[in-house]
Amino acid sequence: MLRRLDKEQPLSFKFTADNLIWAKKQLKNYPKGKKQSAVIPLLFRAQEQEGWVSKPAIEVVARMLDMPPIRVFEVASFYFMFHLSPVGSTAHIQVCGTTPCMLRGAEDLISICKKKISKKPMEPSESGDISWEEVECLGACSNSPVVQIGSDYYEDLDVDSFSKMLENLVSGGVTFPGSQKNRFSSEPIENIKTLKTKAIETQNASVELFAEGGIPFKSTKQKRSKSTKKDI
């Protein structure tokens, strides 16, 4: 699949002070002459900061790694985890569409996305707050259907719980990640035969981390203007 940069680009990109410190530390993890190996973590940190990977971001990463910009673009365009166009400013929802999730209702979730967010994937809603896409296996088959927002998984979804989650995203409410059917991890919902002793914890580590200070995915809205530069 041919992937291109968005037609409209920001005028510039700059890592925040904290992200720049983080990026420079990453470079120290590689032997002399091998810092180009940091291209993926630096691109991903740029995406976490802005919500997507822009042409100026690619150029900044290229300068930091002494790489031709086209080489960085080749990496960004090859891996689908990099968004080459702006996504929702509040949340970008990745819906797992492979077999286990499909059999357990992923197609219903995709239908809701088309109805309530946008008809096409990777196309932000009218407000620009939310976008969605269908992705390959997220690796949580026992808790299907699953969606991912930022670093958080939302599992055991159905039409009602997913619709409620979308309402919370729009209204500023919070939906805790993890199982939406109150499972601790991946144990059977009914007729448990083993491991019947309940854990002392009421939440698994991922949900507990969110509860202690995690926040829903937020991207920074950046002023965009049509680029006058030639495409890479």
Instruction: Provide the CATH number for the domain around residue 15.
Output: 1.10.10.1590
**Under a CB-based contact definition with an 8 Å cutoff, are residues 153 and 138 in contact?**
yes
Q: Tell whether 75 and 106 lie within a shared domain.
A: no
127, part of any domain: yes
Q: What number is the average pLDDT over the span 119-142? A: 93
**For residue 15, what are the CA distances in angstroms to 19, 40, 45, 68?**
6, 15, 9, 19
Of the three residues 64, 85, 106, the one that is the final residue of a domain is: 85
What is the mean predicted confidence (pLDDT) over 56-64? 97
pLDDT at 129 over 60: yes
Asked whether residue 169 falls in the same domain as residue 135, the answer is yes
Tell if the pTM clears 0.85, that is, is over it.
no
CATH number of 132's domain:
3.40.30.10
Q: Give the residue from 44, 59, 85 where a domain finishes.
A: 85
- Pairing between strand 152-155 and 147-149? antiparallel
> Residue 230 has what pLDDT?
46
Q: What is the spatial distance between Cα 19 and Cα 196, in angstroms, rounded to a whole number? A: 44
Verify that 156 and 95 share a domain, yes or no. Answer: yes
Cβ pair 153, 209 in contact under 8 A? no
Mean pLDDT within 150-172: 92
Residue 114 lies in a domain: yes
- Do residues 176 and 127 share a domain? yes
Both 149 and 171 in a single domain?
yes
Does residue 127 have a pLDDT over 60?
yes
Looking at the fold, whether 208 and 100 belong to one and the same domain comes out as yes
Give yes or no: residues 47 and 110 share one domain. Answer: no
The domain in which residue 74 lies consists of 8-85
Which is nearest to 184 in space by CA: 147, 176, 97, 175? 176
Q: What is the pLDDT of residues 30-42, one digit of tens each?
A: 998 999 999 999 9
Q: Which residues of 182-200 are buried (b: 16+ CB within 10 A; e: fewer)?
A: ebeeeeeeeeeeeeeeeee
In this prediction, residue 150 carries a pLDDT of 86
* Residue 101 and residue 38 share a domain: no
- Domain check: are 117 and 207 in the same one? yes
Indicate the number of domains in the chain.
Answer: 2
Q: Is residue 32 part of a domain?
A: yes
Same domain, 79 and 169: no
Q: Indicate whether 135 and 40 sit together in one domain.
A: no
Strand partners, 93: 132, 149
pLDDT per residue as tens digits for the range 107-123: 999 999 999 999 999 99
Select the more confidently predicted residue: 183 or 57: 57
Residue 222 lies in a domain: no
